[in-house]
Structure 1
């Protein structure tokens, strides 16, 4: 069965998701906190350090959404080995607590015909399960190879967000060979990131790193650089995944401080973008 073109507007959920301080610390370690210096980011990796309160990394908002499995609207019985994460964004309406419980509702908002595949876009609303107060809004899209050519809407790519001048900030960061095995413990058990046979069926030489791990690594580095490590100052983050990353690869994060926020991209070892057209919004 191909992609279901009638799924636009379809909703799913609400699904309830809970997390604890253990999840906060495990996520932080999964996106590289403490990897270079075990004592540099204790506010994200420990809960009992004298004078240091445990905080939640802002990008955990997308993990809450991904863990709300029954809030994912169906869009057809497609081959999951052909599906890759294409874009991801979130807006925080308030800082995420270290421990919490939320309700998530998802909705398919668009399907675009890209010729070689289909781009499916979904929104998710996250509210506090006890009070109903808004916590976050997330927007994501997935690209499904081989599902294009159905004559659907084709929209041009938006203009580049990346300035032409040299970056204001640049940092090289190594990923671990077992980075995907660490990150998957936060909830994303897609075998594309752990099963060599499944990855081979998708056309990859070996399991690839979660795009959301690259996203989380990038967000953590930019949080430390432009927000002094204060998660209350980071309000939103969006970016486009352009190439796969293999666990153990070295990445280079580049950023430009602009009037509307921090524009960024993350490059692979060969200088090609793996996370592009990024924008982080800061609190006033």
Structure 2
């Protein structure tokens, strides 16, 4: 069996020590659309993402990619007990929980392990979790993510829990959008994810898509940025965590519409395609931002 849960669940997926600096943060923010709106080059709110001065802040979603930010090879899939290949895999869901504002530069060690494997019949869902710790022993953030492995499953394992988030039955407190650029995926891949699915048309076709698609984590960062600006006064330190399930794809050039509802301690968020033939198609679902 290509996936052996008895070997995989609980297994360590490695330890990685990494560093980041202001240039990495700036590139990431540009890759998720900061500074692209008209007039943003002179806007103090926008410059908090794009200018390396004392006001520079870090969007918490940066922490998800910080450990691999300088990678130039496609992401490896050498998971214990899992014989799978890159063309089978799409990102399933992602959570980032920060234990304080992410520093604009620093060093940390991330230790990860496989926590669960769900059997969805014709696919498997593999969950990993890890915590980044500073050299002084301070926990900086915790990541939890899943990958959806097509063509696997069917061994009679646990189908997993339901994590559906109910969208409030009222008008959204924020309804904003961002038009992705044709080169958005090519820019975002410089943040450490060189998966050819997002750049190579032939690879994308082999994976079942008509053209390269935007990285799910790029959409994830775009959505968090829009919500932070719309309902948290653009202050990234007010984000405690962000969870989202990748419900659909974005092709570079499409517009992402984000609706958010303020529920007190948390924001419920939905993201979809706006306009064109795929108007209304889901992008992110089951999204929640908890407030710090």
Could you say whether these structures have the same fold, taking a TM-score greater than 0.5 normalized by the shorter chain as the test?
yes
1:3 aligns with 2:7: no
Q: Which residue of 2 aligns with 1:93?
A: 99
Q: Which residue of 2 aligns with 1:185?
A: 190
- Residue 279 of structure 1: which of 262, 284, 288 is its match? 288
C-alpha separation in 2, matches of 1:256 and 1:72:
39
- Residue 57 of structure 2: which of 38, 50, 55 is its match? 55
What secondary structure, in the 3-state scheme, does the structure 2 residue paired with 1:122 have?
Answer: strand
Q: Which residue of 1 aligns with 2:159?
A: 154
| Structure 2: 5+ residue stretches without partners | none
C-alpha separation in 2, matches of 1:113 and 1:245:
26
State which drifts further: 143-152 or 32-41: 32-41
C-alpha separation in 2, matches of 1:189 and 1:178:
14
- Residue 83 of structure 1: which of 54, 79, 89 is its match? 89
C-alpha separation in 2, matches of 1:76 and 1:243:
25
C-alpha separation in 2, matches of 1:53 and 1:172:
25
C-alpha separation in 2, matches of 1:22 and 1:71:
28
| Structure 1: 5+ residue stretches without partners | none
State which drifts further: 197-206 or 64-73: 64-73
C-alpha separation in 2, matches of 1:71 and 1:47:
35
Deviation, structure 1 residue 238: 0.3
- Residue 139 of structure 1: which of 138, 144, 149 is its match? 144
Q: Which residue of 2 aligns with 1:18?
A: 19
C-alpha separation in 1, matches of 2:163 and 2:176:
27
1:239-262 deviation per Cα after TM superposition (whole angstroms, max 9, x unaligned): 100111111111100000003300
State which drifts further: 70-79 or 1-10: 70-79
Deviation, structure 1 residue 272: 2.3
Q: Which residue of 2 aligns with 1:33?
A: 34
C-alpha separation in 2, matches of 1:200 and 1:219:
29
User: Are the equivalent residues in 1 in contact too, given 2:56–2:104 (CA < 8 A)?
Assistant: yes
TM-score by structure 1 length? 0.93
User: Are the equivalent residues in 2 in contact too, given 1:73–1:107 (CA < 8 A)?
Assistant: no
CA RMSD in angstroms comes to 1.8
User: Are the equivalent residues in 2 in contact too, given 1:15–1:70 (CA < 8 A)?
Assistant: no
Q: Once superposed, which parts of structure 1, at least 4 consecutive aligned residues long, lie more than 6 Å away?
A: 68-72
C-alpha separation in 1, matches of 2:22 and 2:254:
29
Deviation, structure 1 residue 65: 4.4
- Residue 233 of structure 1: which of 230, 238, 249 is its match? 238
C-alpha separation in 2, matches of 1:107 and 1:19:
23
Q: Which residue of 2 aligns with 1:213?
A: 218
Aligned residues: 279
1:91-129 deviation per Cα after TM superposition (whole angstroms, max 9, x unaligned): 10111111111100011000001112000111011111x
C-alpha separation in 2, matches of 1:22 and 1:160:
36
TM-score by structure 2 length? 0.90
User: Are the equivalent residues in 2 in contact too, given 1:243–1:273 (CA < 8 A)?
Assistant: yes
Deviation, structure 1 residue 12: 2.9
User: Are the equivalent residues in 2 in contact too, given 1:44–1:56 (CA < 8 A)?
Assistant: yes
State which drifts further: 269-278 or 152-161: 152-161
1:126 aligns with 2:163: no
Q: Which residue of 1 aligns with 2:270?
A: 265
Deviation, structure 1 residue 64: 2.1
